[in-house]
């Protein structure tokens, strides 16, 4: 039996009834569905956290998986509901910019959902619309029956690091449960710019400095600071067995600066 995988990424939390109502609706319409939670603790309405969660998980799922995004999922003229196909995966949500942050390039296929909604009645899009679309996909019906094809997604620019010949200026994009500090400087950029040259990573305007990249948290002693490229290929500042963000007093959007020795 093929069990279609449906993932859910939302800002609903897990206490309220919203999530279970949607899971019930999914199982009602797609009884063989395997439902997997990506995250439901996205900060309310936060597009960056949403795309970060989805970006770092969807590729690990089997092809054919359907990824439903329940954050800011009300449709509007500017931000219609869309279904996206990319590398054998499907994505359903409102085109409010989240998806442009999930993919590095425009996805293979994008369709604007052409769903007639009752206009005077509260609509819970994820339950009332997205589940129907997921069912359509599971039944292997053509995506173009769902609506018109779009050429591109609403573009929300990711804040990319700023570079000068010997400088990379990035910022903190995520702080995880361990208070590891994730930056927007990825391994490719670092290798291209720094290569085998010496460098200094400045944190808190130079209050803290790191001059080495390690490959594992335990490469340094307990309590010591470390920089490494994590499982998402992003430069990460951590404290072995500690809480780097708290220790360093660093927060989301703080600047991280690398000076390369020439």
CA pair distance 149, 153, nearest whole angstrom: 11
Q: Which is nearer to a second copy, 116 or 122 (CB)?
A: 122
**Smallest distance from a second copy to CB 144, Å:** 28
Point out which span in 104-112, 203-211, 223-231, 249-257 binds a second copy (CB under 8 A). Answer: 223-231
Specify burial of residue 58 (Cβ count, 10 A radius: 0-12, 13-18, 19+).
Answer: buried
Q: Can residue 246 be called a binding residue for a second copy (CB under 8 A)?
A: no
Cα(41)–Cα(201) distance, integer angstroms: 31
Of residues 103-162, which lie at the interface with a second copy (CB under 8 A)? 119-124, 127
What is the side-by-side strand order in the sheet with 34-39?
34-39, 5-10, 66-70, 89-94, 81-86, 109-112
Q: What's the closest the beta carbon of residue 210 comes to a second copy, in angstroms?
A: 16
Q: Is residue 185 a contact residue for a second copy (CB under 8 A)? A: no
When asked if residue 86 is in the footprint of a second copy (CB under 8 A), the reply is no
Considering only 112, 186, 208, 230, the residue that binds a second copy (CB under 8 A) is: 230
Shortest separation between residue 111's beta carbon and a second copy, angstroms = 22
Q: How far is the CB of 206 from a second copy (least distance, A)?
A: 26
**Residues in a beta bridge with 256:** 170, 203
- Tell me how far apart the 2 most distant CA atoms of the chain are, in Å: 65
206 touches a second copy by CB under 8 A: no
Among residues 126 and 259, whose Cβ is nearest to a second copy?
A: 126
Looking at 205, 215, 221, 262, which residue binds a second copy (CB under 8 A)? 215
Among 77, 139, 177, 221, binds a second copy (CB under 8 A): 177
Nearer to a second copy, 3 or 162 (CB): 3
What backbone torsions phi and psi does residue 253 show, to the nearest 5 degrees? 75, 0
> 141 φ, ψ to 5°?
-80, 155
Which residues fall within 8 angstroms of residue 117, CB to CB, at 6 or more apart?
75, 123, 129
Segment 13 to 32, residues that bind a second copy, using CB under 8 A: 13-18, 20-25, 27-28, 31-32
Q: CB neighbours of 153 closer than 8 A, spacing ≥ 6?
A: 82, 84, 95, 97, 99, 100, 103, 106, 107, 110
CB 93 within 8 A of CB 82: yes
Structure token pair of residue 100: 């442009």
Which residues of the chain form contacts with a second copy (CB under 8 A)? 1, 3, 5, 7, 11-18, 20-25, 27-28, 31-32, 34-42, 44-45, 52-53, 56-62, 65, 74, 76, 119-124, 127, 176-178, 215-218, 228-232, 241
């Amino acid at each position: 039996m093929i069990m279609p995988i449906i993932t859910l990424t939302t800002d609903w939390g897990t206490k309220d009834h919203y999530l279970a109502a949607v899971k019930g609706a999914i199982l009602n319409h797609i009884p063989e569905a395997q439902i997997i939670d990506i995250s439901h603790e996205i900060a309310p309405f936060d597009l960056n956290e949403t795309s970060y969660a989805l970006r770092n998980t969807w590729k690990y799922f089997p092809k054919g998986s359907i990824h439903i995004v329940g954050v800011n999922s009300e449709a509007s003229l500017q931000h219609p509901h869309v279904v996206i196909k990319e590398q054998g995966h499907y994505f359903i949500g409102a085109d409010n910019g989240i998806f442009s942050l999930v993919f590095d390039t425009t996805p293979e296929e994008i369709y604007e959902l052409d769903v007639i909604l009752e206009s005077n009645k509260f609509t819970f899009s994820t339950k009332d619309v997205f589940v129907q679309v997921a069912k359509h996909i599971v039944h292997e019906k053509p995506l173009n029956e769902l609506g018109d094809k779009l050429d591109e997604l609403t573009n929300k620019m990711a804040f990319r690091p700023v570079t000068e010949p010997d400088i990379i200026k990035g910022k903190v994009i995520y702080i995880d449960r361990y208070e590891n500090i994730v930056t927007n400087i990825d391994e490719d950029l670092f290798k291209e710019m720094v290569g085998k040259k010496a460098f200094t990573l400045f944190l808190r305007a130079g209050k803290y400095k790191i001059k080495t990249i390690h490959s594992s948290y335990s490469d340094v002693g307990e309590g010591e600071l470390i920089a490494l490229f994590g499982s998402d290929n992003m430069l990460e500042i951590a404290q072995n067995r500690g809480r780097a963000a708290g220790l360093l007093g660093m927060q989301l959007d703080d600047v991280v600066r690398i000076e390369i020795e020439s």
